[in-house]
Structure 1
Amino acid sequence: MLRKILYTVVLLLVSIGSLSAQDKSLERANAKYDEFSFTPAIDIYKKVLDKGFVSAELLKKLGNSYYFNAEYKDASEIYGRLVTEYPTEVTPDYYFRYAQTLRSLGEYEAADDLMKKFSDMTSGDYRANNFTTERDYRKEIKENSGRYSIGPFESNTVYSEFAPSYYKEGLLFSSDRDTGNLAKYRHTWNSKDFLDIYKINVDSVSMSKVVKMDKAINTRFHESTTVATKDGKTIYFTRNNFKEGKSVKDDNGVIRLKIFRAVMEDSIFAYIEELPFNSDSYSVAHPALSPDEKTLYFASDMPGTLGESDIFKVTINDDETFGTPENLGNTINTEARETFPFVTSEEILYFSSEGHPGLGGLDVFATKIKDNNYTGIVKNVGEPINGKLDDFTFIFDEDTKTGYFASNRESGLGNDDIYSFVENIPLELDCKQPVSGVVRDKISNQVLVGATVKVINEDNVEILQILTDANGYYEILIDCDQGNFIRAMTDGYIPSEEYMGESDGKPQVIDFYLERDKIGAGFGDDLAKLLQLSTIYFDLNKYNIRPDAEVEIQKVIAAMEKYPSLKIKVNSHTDSRGKDAYNLWLSQKRAESTVGYMVSKGISADRLEGEGFGETKLVNGCGNNSKCSSKEHDLNRRSEFIIRE
C-alpha cells in the first residue's frame, strides 16, 4: 500500500514538473510570438504540440506563426486542426486565413466554402463583401491573366532579393545577401535578419555588378523598400526603428518600421531624416511617389487603419514638409493586409493585398486614380504575375511597358526573388458598365429600327452614339465612374433619356418607349398603319370584338388619350361571301361595335365615327365566285382607323 502511495506521489510530482516545464515553454513561445519572432515561436510551439499538449490558443498561435512567416502549407494543417477540434472557439479571421492558405495550395473550392462561413459570421466586412458580391473572382482573374511575359533577374541569389525600385538608369532593391543567413523577410515587418539596399545599372552588359548603397543609408538594422525622385537626389526608404544606434521597441516589445528621407549633397547622401508621422507605437513603411512627386504613398497600421495594414497617402509640401496622412479608403483597403504601393506615370496604383479575392498569399492588384479619387474598380492583375504564394513590390514603366516584381514562388532561386516582365496587353481599369435595351414605339410597341442612342456626360458632352439594329436593339459601354445620360431619339418621335449615376459596373437593361411628336401627316391617313398595329379582324358572320382585336384597339385608345384633338373614323369591311346587302349591314355593325367598345373605354363619342363598306373595298382578288381559301377571305374582314377633321 505504501509503495502504491509513493508511486502515486512520484507520478504526481513528475506530472506537476512536466506541466511546469510545459508552462515555461509556452511562456517563452508566447513571448516570442508577441514580439513577432515567429520562427523561434514555431520551434517551441511544435515541441509542445509533439508532446501531446494542445489547446485552441496554441493552435491559433502556431497557425498564425506559420501564416505570417508565409509557410502556408504548415499553416493550413494547423488551421485545419483548429476548426475541426475546437469549432466553437474559431473566430471569423481564422476561417479567412485558413481559406488563404488553401488558395496557396490551389484548393480553391475548399477555400470558397470557408469564405462562405467567414461571410456568414461577419457583417460589413469588406473581404466578405468582395467575396459575396464581386462575381466569380476566379473567372475574372483568368480573364485578366496572360497579359505579361515574365523574364529573369540576373542579380538574384540563394538569399532574398525583393523591393525593386527605379533609380536613375538602374534599380535599387533590398537583399540579405551579406548577412550570411537565409532570411524569410518577405512581406512581414518583424524579421530579425538584416536587409540592406543595393543598386544596379540595368543597362549594363551584365547585371551581376551589384553595389551596396552608402553607409549613410545602410546600417546594421533593416533597410528595404525604396523610392527615389526622378533626379535621383532624394530617396525615401524603410528602416527599423532605432535611435542613437540602438533599436527601439514599442510597449509590446516590437521593433516597428519607419520611413526615412535621404537627401544628396555633393554627390553623397549626407542628410538623413525621419519623417514626422512615424511613431514608436506603429509601423510606417514601403514608400511610393505620385508622378508629380507631391504625394507620398505608404503602408501603415497607424490609428485609422481598417485592417492589419492599410495604404495611406500624405502631401509633400513645397517647403518639403508634410501634410496629414490620409487613409485611401475601403475600396482599396480591407480588414486584411494591403501593402507595397506603386504609382505609375498614368496614375495607376498597384499594390499587394490578401484581402481582395486572389490566388493565394499576397496578390498584386491595380486601380486607376481619377482626380484624386480612390474608388475606382480594383482588379487582380492575374497570372503569371500572381501565383499561389506571395507576389509583391510590383513596379512598372508605362513608356517601355516593362517592370519588375518580387515573389517567393517555389521556382525561385532564393527565399524571395525579383522577376522582370513585359506587359503585352494593357489591363482595362476604367470601370465600364454594359447597358443594352430595345427602342420601341410607346403606343404600338413596334421596335424602332435605326433609332439613335447617345451617351452624354454630366458636362453635356456627347461621348458616343450608335444606331439600333433590325430588332431595335442597342448595346453600349459607359464609364461607371461618372454619371451619364443615355438618350434615344429618331425622326417623328420625342427623344427620351435616362440618367445613370456612378455604379459598380453590373450590366443594366434600359428599354426606351418613344412617343410620336404628332400623329399622321394629314387627314385621311390610316392610324393603324401609322402606329404599325396589327389589323383588326372579325370572325365569319360576327361583329363582336375578338380578344386579339381588343389588344390593338387599346393602342388606338392610348393614342387618342395622348392626343386629345385626334378624331377617328372607323371603316369596317367584310369578305365577299354572303349577299352584298347582308355584308353591308354586317360591316356597319362591326364599325358600330368598334366605336361602342372605344366609347366604353372612355373615348368621347363626338371624336368617333363608324361606317361599314361591306365587300366594296376588298384587299385582294377574293370577290364573288372566287376560289380563295378561308385565310385569304379572312384578310378582308377588318376595321381601319382613319384620321378625320
Structure 2
Amino acid sequence: MKNYILLYLTIIIVSFNGYAQQSKINSADKNYNNYAYINAIKIYERVAEKGYKSEDMFKKLGNSHYFNSDFEGAAKWYNALFEMNNDVEAEYYYRYAQSLKSTGQMDKAKKIMDEFNSKFKNDSRSKRYDENEDYLNKIKANSGRYTIENAGINSKYSDYSTFVHDNKIYFASARDTGNFSNRKHKWTDEYFTNLYFADVDSVRVMKFKNAVNTKFHEATPVFTKDGKTVYFTRNNYVTGKKGKDAHKITLLKIYKATFENGKWNSAVPVSFDSDNYSTAHPALSPDEKTLYFASDMPGTFGQSDLYKVSINDNGDFGTPKNLGKSINTEGKETFPYVTSENEIYFASDGHPGLGGLDVFVGEIGNDGSITNIQNIGNDINSPKDDFAYIINPDSRKGYFSSNKDGGQGSDDIYKFLETKRLKCLQELNGVITDAETGATLPGAKVTLFNNEMEQKNTVPADASGNYIFPVECGKTYYVRAEKTDYTTKEVPITIEKTSGKTSLPIALDKSTCKVTVGDDLGKCFGIKMIYFDLDKSNIRSEAALDLEKILAVLNDNPNMKLDIRSHTDSRATFKYNENLSDRRAKSTIEWLIGNGVSKNRLTGRGYGETELVNKCADGVPCTEAEHQENRRSEFIITAL
C-alpha cells in the first residue's frame, strides 16, 4: 500500500513540476516574442538547469544569445539543439556555424558549414561558401592594411555608428546620463541610445539637441553637406494583441529633421517607413540624390537587405529598390556607407567572414549593380560583430564599431588609418604636346575612359601640359586629348598589375582639315564607318569613340548642320540593305541628339548599296577589304 501511495505522490510531484516548468516556459516565450531577450534567457536557462529539454526552447535560447551577439552562449545552446536533432531549418545551421567561428572553433564551424552546404544548396550563403572555399586566405590577403585605436569617446555601455560632419563626430550611445527616468531596452538590458557628438580631436562628449533625441532609441545619423538636414534611425512600437496577451513589437524607422531658424525642427518619419517592417541605418550618396538603407520590407531576401531610394529635388522620395542578390543574402546585410569612389561598405553575416557581422566593400557600377565584393580583412573584422564602417576617401581615415574583445562596453567605436588600399592603384600621368614643335599644350582637355568607354574623369592639362589620373592596376583605359585647332586623339593603355606610375605622353597634330559646305566631316577624322554589330543598328563603343569627335566639332560650331548618310556593301538583298542602312543612320542621329545636338541640325537616311565606290556589285567576286570600302558613313556638311 505504501508503494502505491509513494507512486501516487511521485506522479503528483512530477505533474506539478511539469506544470511549473511549462508555466515558466510560457513566461519566457512571452518575453521572447516581445524581443525581451535578456529576460527570456534568464527564465529559459533556469528551466534548462533543472533538466528540461526542448528543441523549441534551445532554438529560442540560441537565438536570444545570438541576437545579442553573445556567440559563446549561442554556440552552447545551438549545440544542445543539434544534440537533440540536427534536422532543423537552414538558419540554425548557419547561426551555429557563425557562433562557432566567433568563439574560435573553426574546425567545428567548417563541419557545420559543410553540412549546411550539402543540405541547403539553393541558399545563396551556401553558394557563396562553395565558391569561396579559400575565403580565409582571401581575408588574410586583405589584412594588414590599417592602424587602429580606440576612438576615446567610449563608455561602459554601447557606443556605435559614427558620422563625421563639420569636424565633429556624431554617434549613438546607451551611456547613463544620470537621469533615473532613463529607460532600458528589454532586448539588450541597456539604456536606450541617444545621439551624442564630440569634436574629432576631443574626448569631451555632448548630447545632441533634444528635438532629435527622445525617450526611445536614436542611432545612425547622417547629415547633408550643408548641415541643414539629418537622417537617423529611431525605434517605434506597434501594439500587438489586446487583452492579457497584449504586447508591443519593436520596429525601426528612418526619420528626417531639418535645421531652421537656429534650431532643429521635430523629426518626421520618411515616406517609405511602415508599421509593418523596419527601415534603418540611412546613408547618403555623395551627390545626396540617393539614400541607402537597410530594411526587412516585403521583397527582402534575408533578415535584412540593403536598399536605395531616390531623393527628388523637392525632398520627396521615389520607390525603394533592393540592391539585388549580388550583395544581399538570406542573412543580414546592414549599415551601408557609400563613398565618392563608387564604393559601398556594409556589414553582413551572410558573406563568408570571420563570424558575427563582418565589414565588406563592393563596387557600384554605372547601372547601379554591385560587383567585386570583398571582406576588408582581419584588422577591422574579428570573430565578433564589426559594423558601421565609414571612411574619408581622401585622408583614408575613418571609424567603425565593434564588440570585439578588449573594448570598454558591449559595442565600442574605433578610429583607423588605412595605410594600404584594398585596390591596387597606380598613377597615370603624361604631358600633352604639339606633335610638330614639341611645345606643351596647357589647357588641353584630357579625358579618361574605361575599357567599356565609360567616362571616368576629365581634367585640363596644367600650365606645363601635364595631366594625372588615378587608375587601377591591370585594367585597360583610353585617354583622349583635345585642343582647339588640333586633331583629337585617343590612346589605349593597359596598366601594369603592380602599384606605381605609368607615363603616357600624347602628341597632337595640328588640324589641317579645312571644310566647307558639301564636304564630308568624317574624312577629317578618318571616319570611314560607324561600327555596328552584325545586322544591328545599336551604337557600339567603337562607334561612340568616333561620334564623340563629330559631337565636339558640332559643339564648337553651333551653326553647322550635317546630313548623315549610311551605306552598305552588296551582300544582302537590295531592300534589306536599304532598311538596315536607314536604321543605322537614324541611330547615329539619335545618339547625337541624345548627347545635346539639336535635331534641326541633323538630317540623314540610309542609301543601302545604291552608291558603291568600287566594282563590288552583286555577283562580282571581291575581297573582304573591297567590300568594307562600301560599308561607310558620311557626315556631309549642309550649313556652316
Q: Same fold (TM over 0.5)?
A: yes
Superposed displacement of residue 8, structure 1: 2.5
Q: Which residue of 1 aligns with 2:616?
A: none
- The answer to whether the 8 Å contact 2:38/2:189 transfers is no
Residue 198 of structure 1 aligns with an amino acid whose one-letter code is Y
Tell me how far apart the structure 2 counterparts of residues 419 and 82 of structure 1 sit (CA, whole Å): 36
Q: Which residue of 1 aligns with 2:140?
A: 142
SS in 1 for 2:277: coil
Tell me how far apart the structure 2 counterparts of residues 25 and 132 of structure 1 sit (CA, whole Å): 42
Superposed displacement of residue 104, structure 1: 0.7
SS in 1 for 2:147: strand
Tell me how far apart the structure 1 counterparts of residues 400 and 450 of structure 2 sit (CA, whole Å): 40
Tell me how far apart the structure 1 counterparts of residues 17 and 76 of structure 2 sit (CA, whole Å): 27
Tell me how far apart the structure 2 counterparts of residues 157 and 190 of structure 1 sit (CA, whole Å): 16
Q: Which residue of 1 aligns with 2:94?
A: 96
Query: Structure 1 residues 4 and 460, CA, compared in 2 at 3 Å: closer, same or farther?
Result: closer
Q: Which residue of 2 aligns with 1:525?
A: none
Q: Which residue of 2 aligns with 1:41?
A: 40
- The answer to whether the 8 Å contact 2:302/2:331 transfers is yes
Tell me how far apart the structure 1 counterparts of residues 24 and 454 of structure 2 sit (CA, whole Å): 71
- The answer to whether the 8 Å contact 1:174/1:197 transfers is yes
Are 2:212 and 1:217 aligned? yes
Q: Which residue of 2 aligns with 1:65?
A: 64
Tell me how far apart the structure 2 counterparts of residues 105 and 199 of structure 1 sit (CA, whole Å): 33
Q: Decide which of 287, 310, 314 is 1:292's aligned counterpart.
A: 287
SS in 2 for 1:256: strand
Q: Which residue of 1 aligns with 2:76?
A: 77
How big is each residue's C-alpha offset from its partner over 1:113-153, in whole Å with a ceiling of 9 and x where there is no partner?
21111111113211011100124100000000011110221
Q: Which residue of 1 aligns with 2:19?
A: 20
Residue 395 of structure 1 aligns with an amino acid whose one-letter code is I
- The answer to whether the 8 Å contact 1:262/1:271 transfers is yes
SS in 2 for 1:208: coil
Query: Structure 1 residues 374 and 460, CA, compared in 2 at 3 Å: closer, same or farther?
Result: closer
How big is each residue's C-alpha offset from its partner over 1:71-130, in whole Å with a ceiling of 9 and x where there is no partner?
101111211222122223x22221111110111122223212211111111132110111
How big is each residue's C-alpha offset from its partner over 1:378-397, in whole Å with a ceiling of 9 and x where there is no partner?
10000210011010111100
Report the structure number with the largest CA radius of gyration: 1
SS in 1 for 2:66: helix
Normalised TM-score (structure 2): 0.64
Tell me how far apart the structure 2 counterparts of residues 209 and 477 of structure 1 sit (CA, whole Å): 46
- The answer to whether the 8 Å contact 1:364/1:391 transfers is yes
Tell me how far apart the structure 2 counterparts of residues 346 and 460 of structure 1 sit (CA, whole Å): 15
Structure 1 residues 158-237: aligned runs within 5 Å: 158-178=156-176, 193-203=191-201, 207-237=202-232
Tell me how far apart the structure 1 counterparts of residues 229 and 330 of structure 2 sit (CA, whole Å): 33
Residue 363 of structure 2 aligns with an amino acid whose one-letter code is K
Structure 1 residues 46-445: aligned runs within 5 Å: 46-88=45-87, 90-178=88-176, 193-203=191-201, 207-241=202-236, 247-249=237-239, 253-428=248-423
List, as ranges, runs of 4+ consecutive aligned residues in structure 1 with deviation greater than 6 Å. Answer: 180-185, 188-192, 474-478
SS in 2 for 1:288: strand
Tell me how far apart the structure 1 counterparts of residues 450 and 336 of structure 2 sit (CA, whole Å): 35
Tell me how far apart the structure 2 counterparts of residues 476 and 250 of structure 1 sit (CA, whole Å): 61
Query: Structure 1 residues 85 and 167, CA, compared in 2 at 3 Å: closer, same or farther?
Result: same
Q: Which residue of 1 aligns with 2:562?
A: none
Tell me how far apart the structure 2 counterparts of residues 361 and 225 of structure 1 sit (CA, whole Å): 19
Q: Which residue of 1 aligns with 2:517?
A: none
Tell me how far apart the structure 2 counterparts of residues 216 and 317 of structure 1 sit (CA, whole Å): 25
SS in 2 for 1:350: strand
Query: Structure 1 residues 190 and 295, CA, compared in 2 at 3 Å: closer, same or farther?
Result: farther
- The answer to whether the 8 Å contact 1:250/1:256 transfers is no
Query: Structure 1 residues 189 and 158, CA, compared in 2 at 3 Å: closer, same or farther?
Result: closer
How big is each residue's C-alpha offset from its partner over 1:564-619, in whole Å with a ceiling of 9 and x where there is no partner?
xxxxxxxxxxxxxxxxxxxxxxxxxxxxxxxxxxxxxxxxxxxxxxxxxxxxxxxx
Residue 165 of structure 1 aligns with an amino acid whose one-letter code is F
Query: Structure 1 residues 458 and 212, CA, compared in 2 at 3 Å: closer, same or farther?
Result: closer
How big is each residue's C-alpha offset from its partner over 1:236-276, in whole Å with a ceiling of 9 and x where there is no partner?
011111xxxxx434567321111100100112102421111
Query: Structure 1 residues 249 and 65, CA, compared in 2 at 3 Å: closer, same or farther?
Result: same
SS in 1 for 2:172: strand
Are 2:476 and 1:463 aligned? yes
Superposed displacement of residue 429, structure 1: 8.4
Tell me how far apart the structure 2 counterparts of residues 355 and 464 of structure 1 sit (CA, whole Å): 34
SS in 1 for 2:215: coil
Tell me how far apart the structure 2 counterparts of residues 167 and 29 of structure 1 sit (CA, whole Å): 43
The total of aligned residue pairs comes to: 434
Tell me how far apart the structure 2 counterparts of residues 476 and 183 of structure 1 sit (CA, whole Å): 58
Query: Structure 1 residues 87 and 48, CA, compared in 2 at 3 Å: closer, same or farther?
Result: same
- The answer to whether the 8 Å contact 1:169/1:202 transfers is yes
Structure 1 residues 510-525: aligned runs within 5 Å: none
Q: Which residue of 1 aligns with 2:7?
A: 8
How big is each residue's C-alpha offset from its partner over 1:404-429, in whole Å with a ceiling of 9 and x where there is no partner?
01110111111111000001111128
Superposed displacement of residue 183, structure 1: 11
Query: Structure 1 residues 356 and 280, CA, compared in 2 at 3 Å: closer, same or farther?
Result: same
Instruction: Give the RMSD, CA atoms, in angstroms.
Output: 2.7
Superposed displacement of residue 475, structure 1: 12
SS in 2 for 1:61: helix
- The answer to whether the 8 Å contact 1:378/1:429 transfers is no
Residue 362 of structure 1 aligns with an amino acid whose one-letter code is L
* Paired-residue identity, %: 43
